[in-house]
Structure formats: C-alpha cells, structure tokens
Amino acid sequence: MQESKISYLDTVDELNLYLNKNLNNDNSIIFVDSNVKSEYEFDENYNIHEVLVNEETKNITIVEKIWEIMHSNSATRSTNIICIGGGVLCDVVGFATSIYKRGANLILVPTSLLAMVDASHGGKNGINNNYGKNQIGTFYLPSDVLVCVEFLKSLNKEEINTGLIEAIKAGFIGNKLILDLAYEDIIRLGRLYFPNPYLDLIQLAIDVKTKITKEDLKESDTRMYLNFGHTIGHLIESDSNYQISHGQAVGIGILIALEISEKEYNLDKSYKKNYMTFLNNSGLKSHYKFQKSRSELMTILSNDKKVNNAKINFVLLEEIEKPVLKEVDIEQAMDLILDE
Ligand SMILES: NC(=O)c1ccc[n+]([C@@H]2O[C@H](COP(=O)([O-])OP(=O)(O)OC[C@H]3O[C@@H](n4cnc5c(N)ncnc54)[C@H](O)[C@@H]3O)[C@@H](O)[C@H]2O)c1
C-alpha cells in the first residue's frame, strides 16, 4: 500500500527551504489557513491562496472555491497541492484534491496539534452537510506530511488541549510513553515547540496512528481503536448542543471509557487516576452531567456512524496499549455510560 512520507521540521524557515528544494513553485499551489497566514512568512514565489474556513463552512461550497482556484491556475494531476492549516483545512483540501481530475498530488502541512498528531495522517478526509459531520469524504493519502512544530507557538491553549487529548488517546491504545510525556506540564512551560526535546510526544503519537491505519486503512477492524473515547465524546458534544468543545468532550469520553475498562477488564486504576490529575491540571473538565433523557440519548447514539444493527462497538482497554472492541447493544451501552 502507498504510504505518506513524514518529515519533521523545527521552524517555518526550514519548511520554506524544504518546499523550495523539493516542490517546484511553478507546479505547486498553496492553500493556507487565514489564521496561520497572518502569523508566519511564506515564500512569495509560490502561488499562495488564503482560505478562511471553520467547522460551519466546512462544506461543498468551500470545496468548489478550491476547485475553481485549481482550475484557473491550470492545475493538472501532477500539480502539488500544498495545504498549510488545521484539521478543518486539511480535510477540505484533502477531499477537494482527491477528486480533482481524479486526484492530484497532496502535501499536508498540519498547523494545529490535532492536525499534526491525527487529522493529517491515515488518508481520511471529509466535509459536513445536512446529513451530519464528515459524511461526505474519501480515503486519499497525501504523498507527504510536513510536521513543523514552530506553528504551535501561535496556537491557543484550548487548541493545544484538544490536540493533547488525541495524543493521549494514542498513548492509551498504542504507546504509554506518550502519557508520561503529556502529563509533564510541557505546554505551559513552552517546551512543546522550541527548542523541542519533546518532539517525541508528537512523533510517538503519529507512529501509533500510522501503524494502525497502515494495517486497516478503510476502518474495517483495528482502525476503530482510534475511536477510543470518541463514541461517548460525540454523545456529550451532542447532549450539550455543542456547548462543550470536541476536545473537552473526548477528554471526558476517554475518562468514562477508562472507568468502564476498569469494571469490564480490571484495568489498573492508576491509569484513570493519573489521567484525571492531568485533566484537572490542564483546566479540562473531568465530569459531565447528561442533560437529555435516556431515550433521547439512545436516539443520538443510534445515529452514531459506529452503530450497526442496533449494536455499537465500544473501544475499551483490556490493558494499557491493548484496546479491544466490545460489541454491545444500545440499551447496554446506555447502562454502561449512565452508570459512571
Ligand atoms: N481526517 C481525519 O482523520 C481527522 C481526524 C481528526 C479530526 N479531523 C477533523 O479535524 C477538524 C478539527 O481540526 P482542528 O482542531 O485542527 O481545527 P481547525 O482546523 O478549525 O483549527 C482550530 C483553530 O486554530 C486555528 N489554527 C490552526 N493552526 C494554527 C496556528 N498554528 N496558529 C494559530 N491558529 C491556528 C484555525 O484557524 C482554527 O481557528 C475537524 O473538522 C475534524 O473533523 C479529521
């Protein structure tokens, strides 16, 4: 199977040099997130287009605008489409590129921590429409992912936390060293980006994701492990009418999944205890009280992408680094969630 080449760069200057050396500016188009463009200098010899996008506008209209730019710049299948942005822009440009002339060359430069450790790897992309979030999309691997940690300098604390939660998820399912790194208070000390002895955290989390997606690109089996904490997280987001952020909701989702794993598999209690301390130290919530009734919650859960024949695949931990899929019916799932 094709794999993405992942390169690690310390600074945006190094990124500019890398692009110059490897990607001919005559045959490249750069799409850059507006919030990133205002913070960093990019080589003006490239054909650069600023894109303002967020979760509400992550839809087919923005994809059409991107196609229009590709077309008016005579992009072909061999054109390098370079996306510099967070997970939203990576998903949008990834999707647009995957079907433009049946697929041009995609290079992702993730700028948020979540996009660095998660969204830019594994080939999934997607846009939202009235059927729901990420309901339209393809699997399309970028040829290159360029991880440049200097971008983290301008990312706010909430976005850092969102990314850290995904890195911690990777720690639970694939490499517990990530937990040790994340629990040191590396963000507030400013050591995550520069100079960066902790690039390890990002690299290790990426290794977990790419190993899993290499084995099961299309999510027929083990890729579901990456949903650890997410089924409950999505339920919390929806229950709160999206007043609770995704990172925060998944953070609590992981906590509940750890509690269920203690009961079902006797998972060592120290994992939950240490994780809870981390949530509290980071200013993240460690408790959530559902607002909706049990039957309303069951309806939401039934609409989850992971539900098949009224059965849901919960990702739990038999042990640290040993995720398992537990198939439960919706009633039982509600018992497990509301019991916590
Ligand atoms: N394809 C996948 O496998 C996958 C996996 C996980 C999440 N996702 C998707 O990722 C999206 C969330 O990504 P996200 O959390 O990066 O959100 P985002 O792209 O909206 O970025 C968050 C905010 O940070 C800003 N930003 C990004 N980088 C910055 C930087 N370096 N400095 C200052 N501001 C910066 C953005 O403009 C935005 O306002 C969701 O749409 C989700 O569906 C995709």
CB of residue 111 inside a 6 A radius of ligand 1: yes
d(CA 259, CA 227): 16
pLDDT for residue 194 = 52
Q: Which tokens belong to 183?
A: 């629990």
Domains along the chain with CATH numbers: 5-155 (3.40.50.1970), 157-340 (1.20.1090.10)
**Ligand 1 center to 41 CA (angstroms):** 20
Report the alpha-carbon distance of residue 78 to residue 100 in Å, rounded. 11
Atom 22 (ligand 1): residue with closest C-alpha? 86
Query: Structure tokens of 173?
Result: 């399912």
Mutate to test the pocket of ligand 1, among 31, 127, 159 (most ligand atoms within 8 A of CB): 159
Q: Is the C-beta atom of 122 inside 6 A of ligand 1? A: yes
Query: How far is Cα 319 from Cα 321, in angstroms, rounded to an integer?
Result: 6
Q: Which of 54, 83, 97, 112 for a ligand 1 pocket mutation test, highest count of atoms within 8 Å of Cβ?
A: 112
Nearest atom of ligand 1 to the alpha carbon of 137: 1
162 lines ligand 1 (CB under 6 A): yes
Report in angstroms the alpha-carbon separations of 244 from 124, 241, 260, 263, 269.
Answer: 24, 8, 22, 27, 26
CA distance 261 to 276: 15
> What span, in angstroms and rounded, lies between the C-alpha atoms of 10 and 150?
6
State the distance from the centre of ligand 1 to the C-alpha of 91, rounded, in angstroms.
9
CB-count exposure of residue 88 (10 Å: 0-12, 13-18, 19+): buried
Residue located nearest, by CA, to atom 4 of ligand 1: 119
Ligand 1 centroid from CA 331, angstroms: 34
Interatomic CA distance for residues 94 and 139, integer angstroms:
9
The pLDDT, as a whole number, for residue 125 is: 98
Question: In the prediction, which pLDDT does 103 show?
Answer: 97
Region of residue 104 (left: phi > 0; alpha: psi -120 to 50; beta: else): beta
Cβ contact 78:103 at 8 Å: no
Say which amino acid occupies 308: N
Q: Rounded CA gap, 179 and 199, in Å?
A: 14
- In DSSP notation, 167-211 reads HHHHHHHH-THHHHHHHS-TTTTTTTTSS-TTHHHHHHHHHHHHH
Task: Please check whether residue 175 is in contact with residue 208, taking contact to mean a CB–CB distance below 8 angstroms.
Answer: yes
Q: Check pocket membership of 155 for ligand 1, CB cut-off 6 A.
A: yes
What is the reported pLDDT for 142?
Answer: 98
How far apart, in whole angstroms, are the C-alpha atoms of residue 147 and residue 150? 9
Please give the pLDDT value at position 335.
Answer: 84
Tell me, in angstroms, the distance from the centre of ligand 1 to residue 56's CA. 12
Query: What's the one-letter identity of residue 237?
Result: E
| Single-letter amino acid code for the residue at 15 | L
Summarize pLDDT for 168-221 with one digit per residue, the tens. 999 999 999 999 888 886 665 555 655 554 558 899 999 999 999 999 898 888
Q: Is the CB of 119 under 6 A from ligand 1?
A: yes
Using an 8 Å Cβ cutoff, are 236 and 287 in contact?
A: no
Q: What is the mean pLDDT of each run of 10 residues along the chain (340 residues)?
A: 88 96 95 98 96 96 98 98 98 98 98 96 96 92 96 91 94 95 71 58 94 92 94 93 91 95 96 94 90 90 73 92 92 80
Distance set, CA 307 to CA 70, 157, 230, 247, 327 (Å): 37, 33, 13, 22, 10
Query: Degrees (nearest 5) of the Cα angle 92, 95, 97?
Result: 105
Cα of 183 from ligand 1 centre, angstroms? 22
| 88 Cβ below 6 A of ligand 1 | yes
| Cβ of 250 below 6 Å from ligand 1 | no
pLDDT on residue 301: 85
Q: Quick one: pLDDT at residue 123?
A: 97
Report helix, strand or coil for 69.
Answer: helix
| Token pair in block for residue 195 | 């100079």
